[in-house]
Structure 1
Amino acid sequence: MASEKKNCYSIILPTYNEKENLPLIIWLIVDAFSQINEEFEVIIVDDGSPDGTQDAAKQLQKIYGEERILLKPRAKKLGLGSAYIHGIQFASGDFIIIMDADLSHHPKYIPQFIRKQTSSNCDVVTGTRYRGHGGVAGWDFSRKLISVTANYITQTLLNPGVSDLTGSFRLYRKEVLVDLISRCKSKGYVFQMEMMCLANASGYKIEEVPIVFVDRVYGESKLGAIEVVRFAKGLLRLFATT
């Protein structure tokens, strides 16, 4: 009897100045998949990092193999959505996992994402900080308050069908991710919001897994005042168009 074909999972890691974090996140991803015995590949989409991130990626290729760690850089920062579009071109997996490379998303949740998708046969699994044992570690009270308030406002205005609209730790069926990205107009942090709104409006089945988001250990946060303004404008645009 022929053995059942195993799924393959492609993890797309957009990076910019993640030299310190990259070796650890890759090690944790490899460890997570060793526990569930599933096929996987990691696609590193680096946007011209000046800190040596690409050199670190090349060293990791020597350790884990170029068939396991794919380095697909770009010349400069071109936006999160376009990073996924770029990475998908090289993805051989049936499912695509998107996550941050700065250790704010722990790969230990990947087996839970995969089990949730397998048991429910859903199209999208998204991590949530706002249900079950989910939460945030490393933030002060004011930042937590801002996050909770922003999430409450997005839930009220958009009714997206998920509890954490701005999260960026997700598992997609490959064809679903391709479809959603082809219709998504937002960039930056609003991109994740619009993706969930589109998925919900399109009737795709979405499930959630509680996660604890951990503030980055190395490097600086890329969320600044400009991104906050763009978030507000994007939220209003989505409210007017969805």
Structure 2
Amino acid sequence: MVKFDTLSIVIPVYNEARTIHQILDLLRGLQLVNNISKEIILVDDCSTDNSADVIQAYAIRYPELRLRLLHHTVNQGKGAALHTGIREATGDYVIVQDADLEYDPEEYNLLFKPILRGFADVVYGSRFMGGNPHRILFFWHSIGNQLLTFLSNMVTDLNLTDMETCYKLFRRDLVQGLQLEEKRFGFEPEVTVKVARIPGVRIYEVGISYYGRTYAEGKKIGWRDGFRAIFCIFKYGLFKS
């Protein structure tokens, strides 16, 4: 059994004032296995609403939460926010958590299983495997996700079912050792390609739930990001960068 003490949870934030307290409530009540502690790093990517004020008020109200708020003075994109959060993480492992309510933090413990049993260095949470709840939304989004995962698997020689998932759990030294460049949603294919190149890395995938949002509910990713993801797959997959 592998033991580790602290999980760093990196949350990119852009105009999430309406729901950010809900995800923080979930994280505050979350009990991790083996008494693993939580370091929560929020990166405000120059929000135009009062996200930062809401987060600061929450941190004052719940000081025991080990909540750290970092700021970008210019909006740079989700990937750039993740770069900042990953760079500042101090836990043994790092996980990405969106600020919305599409993913359930209770399922961190599912992702831990192959880590704690000594099998994995990196674990992806797949929305497309297992019997967990999955909100039914957009047909063409699902086709797009399958295409991006297929193309990513072609260049990495992995057999992932969900490359685009938010829930990616990394051993901190591995992810901090990557030279990451993509500042928007290209983070997902870039980090997958670069992790796959690490000699001897052990990558696992476990099934998770997915409570997806519609665009009316605040979903931000669009078709342009899909084309950028294809570009990134081939840029980083075929040419070392």
- Other-structure match for 1:215: 212
Are 1:200 and 2:204 counterparts? no
> Per-residue deviation at 1:45?
0.3
Would the aligned equivalents of 2:79 and 2:185 in 1 still touch at CA under 8 Å? no
> Per-residue deviation at 1:14?
0.5
Counterpart CA distance in 2 for 1:134 and 1:120 is: 24
Unaligned runs of 5+ in 2: none
- Other-structure match for 1:97: 95
Q: Deviation per CA, 1:120-143: give whole Å up to 9, x if none.
A: 342111111232236741413333
Match of 1:213, SS state, is coil
Counterpart CA distance in 2 for 1:216 and 1:19 is: 16
The residue correspondences of 1:87-166 to structure 2 (distance < 5 A) are 87-133=85-131, 136-166=134-164
Would the aligned equivalents of 1:80 and 1:187 in 2 still touch at CA under 8 Å? yes
Counterpart CA distance in 2 for 1:104 and 1:69 is: 21
Counterpart AA for 2:148: A
Match of 1:125, SS state, is strand
Counterpart AA for 1:102: D
| Shift >4 Å, 4+ stretches | none
Would the aligned equivalents of 1:166 and 1:190 in 2 still touch at CA under 8 Å? no
Unaligned runs of 5+ in 1: none
> Per-residue deviation at 1:174?
1.0
Deviates more, 1:102-111 or 1:82-91: 82-91
| Aligned equivalent of 1:170, options 154, 158, 168 | 168
RMSD: 2.5
Counterpart CA distance in 1 for 2:113 and 2:53 is: 34
- Other-structure match for 1:83: 81
Task: Give aligned-pair identity as a percent.
Answer: 25
- Other-structure match for 1:74: 72
> Per-residue deviation at 1:235?
2.6
> Per-residue deviation at 1:150?
3.3
Q: Deviation per CA, 1:63-98: give whole Å up to 9, x if none.
A: 221761111111122233332332234323111111
Q: 1:67 to 1:132 in 2, by over 3 A?
A: closer
Q: 1:240 to 1:200 in 2, by over 3 A?
A: closer
Match of 2:17, SS state, is coil
Q: 1:95 to 1:150 in 2, by over 3 A?
A: closer
* TM-score normalised by L of structure 1: 0.85
Match of 2:153, SS state, is helix
Counterpart CA distance in 2 for 1:67 and 1:30 is: 6
> Per-residue deviation at 1:26?
0.9
Matched pairs, number: 236
Match of 1:9, SS state, is strand
Would the aligned equivalents of 2:97 and 2:167 in 1 still touch at CA under 8 Å? yes
Would the aligned equivalents of 1:189 and 1:231 in 2 still touch at CA under 8 Å? yes
Would the aligned equivalents of 2:126 and 2:161 in 1 still touch at CA under 8 Å? yes
Counterpart AA for 1:22: I
